[in-house]
Structure 1
C-alpha cells in the first residue's frame, strides 16, 4: 500500500510540474470573483492570499469582479444575488482599476474585501479606505457606471472562462491566459503547492521544499 501511495504522489508531482508553467519569470493568475460567492472567499483567503504572501514577486495578478452578472443591452447590469451583489462588484471593479500599477495594494484590497466583507455586508468603503484610495473618487466611480467601460470590460474579459464548456465557476481561475478547467480545479485545493513546484523548476528562483 505504501508503494502505491508513493507512486501516486510522484505522478501527481509530475502532473503539477508539467501543467503549470512559469512564463518569462512569472505566473499570471486571473481570478474572476463574485462579491457574494463563498467559494471566492475561500479561494482568496485560504489560497491566493497565502500564495501571494510567499511568492508574490513571481506572480502577476488580475482580478475580474463580475461573478455571474449579466450586462444588458442598455448598459445596466443584472446580478444573480441582487442589489448588494451588483453594488459590491462594481465597487471592486472601481477599486481595482484605481489601483492599477500597484499589485500589492490590489491584493491587500481584495483580501480585505473577502475576509472582512464590508462592501457585501455593509455597503462600506472600509477596504478602499485601508488601501488609501480617495473615497470621493471611489464613490463617484461606483455611482456613475455610464461614464466608463469597467462593466463592459469585465463582462468581456471573463466571458470565455465562464462559458458552459470552459470553467463556468466562480471564482474562475485562469493561469497565463490559458483556460484550463483541470488547473482551475487543482488551484482551488492546493494553489500554494502548485506554484511552489512550478517555481522550483526554475533554478534562479531558489524555491525549494515544496510539498503536496
Structure 2
C-alpha cells in the first residue's frame, strides 16, 4: 500500500509540475502577444486621435470618463484630435451611420463645429464633452445647444451642416479608414499616430495612467508619480 501511495504521490506531483509549467508557458505566450512598447512623448507631447460616433455608448463613456480625466490632469502635454465618423458610409450623396439618421446628423454637426473651433483645443474638448453628456444635445435632441455654449455663429454652423459631402466629410472618412480597419472599434483611439489595437485597448481602459507613465519617463516636465 505504501509503495502504491508513494507512486501515486510522485505521479501527482509530476502532474502538478507539468500543469504549472503549462500555465507559465501559456501566460508567457499571452504576454508576448499582448506586449505593447511603452508609450513615449514626442517633443514633450502625446497626440490622442479619437474616432467617434454620436450614438455610441462606448464613445460616451470614453469621452466623459477616460479622456476628460486625462485632459483635466495633463492638458498642457496633450494634442487632441477628434474624427467624428466611426462606421459611417457616404455613398451617392447619402450617409449611412451605425446608429441611424440622428447619428449621421450629429456627426456632421460635430465635424462642422470642431472645424469652426480649430486652433482652440480647450474649446473643442469642452464642446465634445458637452455633446457626449446628458441630455446628448445633438444626437438625442437634434439641437445646437453645445455649439451655442461654445460661442459659435449658428447661422454659419447651420449652413455647414446642410452642405454635406464637402472637404470635412472627405477628410474624416480618410482619417477614420485605417484606424477602423485595424482597431475595428468605436471609439478608435490612436496615440502619436501609431495605429495599434493593443495600445487602443490600454487607452480605452486606463488612459490617464498610460499618459502619466509616458510623462514620468520624460525628464522635461514636473510629473513625479503615477498610479496604475
* Pair in the same fold by TM > 0.5: yes
Corresponding residue pairs, total: 195
* Superposition RMSD in Å: 1.6
Q: TM-score, normalised by structure 2?
A: 0.82
Distance 1:188 1:138 in 2: 31
One of 180, 184, 190 as aligned partner of 2:200: 184
Can you give the 5+ residue segments of structure 1 that lack an aligned partner in the other structure? 1-11
Could you tell me how far apart the structure 1 residues matched to 2:93 and 2:217 are?
46
Name the CA distance, whole Å, in 2 between partners of 1:49 and 1:37: 17
Write out aligned runs for 1:1-212 (5 A). Answer: 18-72=37-91, 74-116=92-134, 117-146=136-165, 148-163=166-181, 166-212=182-228
Q: Which deviations, in whole Å up to 9, do the C-alpha atoms of 1:65-84 show, x marking residues without a partner?
A: 01211021x23221122110
**Large movers: runs of 4+ above 3 Å:** 15-18
In the alignment, is the contact (CA less than 8 A) between 2:46 and 2:79 conserved in 1? yes
Mapped contact 2:66–2:204 kept (Cα < 8 A): yes
Q: Are residues 54 and 153 of structure 1, via their aligned partners in 2, closer, same or farther at CA, if it must alter by over 3 Å?
A: same
**If you compute each CA radius of gyration, which structure gives the higher value, 1 or 2?**
2
Q: For residue 9 of structure 1, what is the aligned residue in structure 2?
A: none
Deviation per CA, 1:50-105, whole angstroms, max 9, x where unpaired? Answer: 10111000000100001211021x23221122110100000000001111100000
Which SS does the other structure have where 1:169 is aligned?
A: coil
SS at match of 2:220: helix
Could you tell me which runs of 5 or more consecutive residues in structure 2 were left unpaired when the two chains were aligned: 1-30
